[in-house]
Homo-oligomer: A and B are copies of this chain.
Amino acid sequence: MSISSKLLVDIHTHVYLPRYTSLLRSRSTVPFIHSITNSEGVAEDRLLILDHEPSGGRPVGSQYWDREEKLKFMDKHGIDVSIVSTANPWLDFLPASQAHTLASELNNDLEEYCATAPAVSSRQIKRLYGFGLLPLVPEIRTSALLDIVKQIGSLPHLRGLIMGSRGIGRGLDDEALEPVWAAIEKAGLVVFLHPHYGVDVSAWGDKDNGHVLPLALGFPFETTTAATRLILSGVFDKFPSLRLLLAHSGGALPALSSRLASCIDHDPIVASRLKHDARYYLGKLYLDAVAYGPEELGFLAPNRSVGSKRILFGTDHPFFPPLSASEKWTSVTENLEAIESVYGWNEDDKNGVRGGNAVSLFNLK
């Protein structure tokens, strides 16, 4: 076992870079940050990223933008390396030209955020790497998208890019994106597919359940749908080396993959389009280990398609903060305990999920 396989690497950890935060503060429609006076009479920043959010939005503070806070969080939880990504909703609310410029600037900002971070002690590996951003907005020129793929590929600390499920407005199965997949594959960048919109809010009903339903179900449903639509479009047949990392352990996709295969078998339109059984494509995906339970992770591992080598530790920081400042974050401890407790994983499997798989996937050496 190499030393690097003992690192703890967090591949699902977010930031709103100061340039992006400034933009959010300048806005008064979703997404935006505003200041409110809370119930104790103290001014507090709140973030609204979706229509229909409970009034006022969620509290945000320096842990969302300050690199020192990220490093403190990492130190507190023994995380050696973080591969940081801009949190949703990225850029799709902007006009094309502004999105193009801002993507380029934010990618340079993130490169600097990582490049000027400390290294892992006595190692060549930095403590911070990043996922860049594409200007995925309607009416963007393909050449602008290809420019930014090229930029990300040229920035040494960016090892992939994060994207939502809508592409340039019509989803990830839009044929207009094929040159982009080709360029991403060629550049060897990892695509981190992350939800934002969830599903139609009418599904959640009238009862006040806070954020539980959109976060616990809406997010995974969105990721599952987007990844399934990509599979059905044949993108993985056309771009077999494309590396796609799914947030939140792939949502519901692993648990529904045999049902998906059966439904495809009964639908000649789709069956004739694809070279392989649906589960073959599942086996080409990477999944984060943000599942909060050992059964869920253990399910992924013996599955005929997804082994422990394709599962990577993540925290979702700075979302899901602890209720008291002194506590460790349960979003971290539960996910680490889950990895430790998976029935049937040996130490190599666990070390891989904690960091070794990320070292390989993102070529951290």
Interface of A with B (CB < 8 Å)?
Answer: 170-171, 173, 199-200, 202-213, 215-217, 220-222, 224-225, 228-229, 232-233, 248-249, 251-252, 254-270, 279, 291-293, 295-296, 298-299, 302-304, 320, 330-331, 334, 338, 343
Q: Residues of B contacting A209 with CB < 8 Å?
A: 229, 232, 267, 269-270
Query: What is the distance, in angstroms, from A168's C-beta to the closest C-beta of chain B?
Result: 13
- Say yes or no: A260 contacts B212, CB within 8 Å: yes
* Residue from B256, B279, B292 in contact with A261 in the complex, judged by beta carbons closer than 8 Å: B292
Question: Cα distance A283–B291 when bound, in Å?
Answer: 18
Query: What is the distance, in angstroms, from A147's C-beta to the closest C-beta of chain B?
Result: 26
Interface of A, secondary structure class, is helix
Q: Residues of B contacting A268 with CB < 8 Å?
A: 210
- Say yes or no: B258 contacts A293, CB within 8 Å: yes
- Say yes or no: A252 contacts B221, CB within 8 Å: yes
Q: Residues of B contacting A220 with CB < 8 Å?
A: 252, 256, 259
On whether A217 and B228 interact (CB within 8 A), knowing A302-B295, A304-B295, the answer reads yes
Query: What is the distance, in angstroms, from A188's C-beta to the closest C-beta of chain B?
Result: 28
Q: Residues of B contacting A199 with CB < 8 Å?
A: 199-200, 203, 221
- Say yes or no: B258 contacts A296, CB within 8 Å: yes
The winner among A267, A331, A334 for most chain B CB atoms within 10 A is A267
On whether A213 and B200 interact (CB within 8 A), knowing A252-B251, A295-B302, the answer reads no
Question: Cα distance A258–B210 when bound, in Å?
Answer: 17
Query: What is the distance, in angstroms, from A95's C-beta to the closest C-beta of chain B?
Result: 23
Q: Residues of B contacting A255 with CB < 8 Å?
A: 249, 252, 254-255, 296, 299
Question: Cα distance A303–B298 when bound, in Å?
Answer: 9
Question: Cα distance A175–B225 when bound, in Å?
Answer: 31
24 A-B contacts (beta carbon < 8 Å): A171-B205, A171-B207, A207-B229, A207-B233, A209-B267, A210-B270, A211-B263, A212-B263, A212-B264, A212-B270, A216-B256, A217-B256, A220-B259, A224-B252, A248-B259, A251-B256, A255-B296, A256-B296, A261-B293, A262-B330, A262-B331, A295-B302, A295-B303, A302-B343
* Residue from B170, B200, B225, B257 in contact with A206 in the complex, judged by beta carbons closer than 8 Å: B170
Q: Residues of B contacting A203 with CB < 8 Å?
A: 199-200, 221-222, 225
Query: What is the distance, in angstroms, from A310's C-beta to the closest C-beta of chain B?
Result: 14
Question: Cα distance A26–B330 when bound, in Å?
Answer: 58
13 further interface pairs, Cβ-Cβ under 8 Å (given A221-B221, A298-B299)? A203-B221, A203-B222, A207-B229, A207-B232, A207-B233, A208-B269, A209-B267, A212-B260, A213-B228, A217-B228, A220-B256, A259-B296, A262-B292
Question: Cα distance A210–B269 when bound, in Å?
Answer: 7
Q: Residues of B contacting A249 with CB < 8 Å?
A: 255
Tell me the nearest residue of chain B to A225, going by C-beta.
B203
Tell me the nearest residue of chain B to A279, going by C-beta.
B293
Question: Cα distance A87–B22 when bound, in Å?
Answer: 54
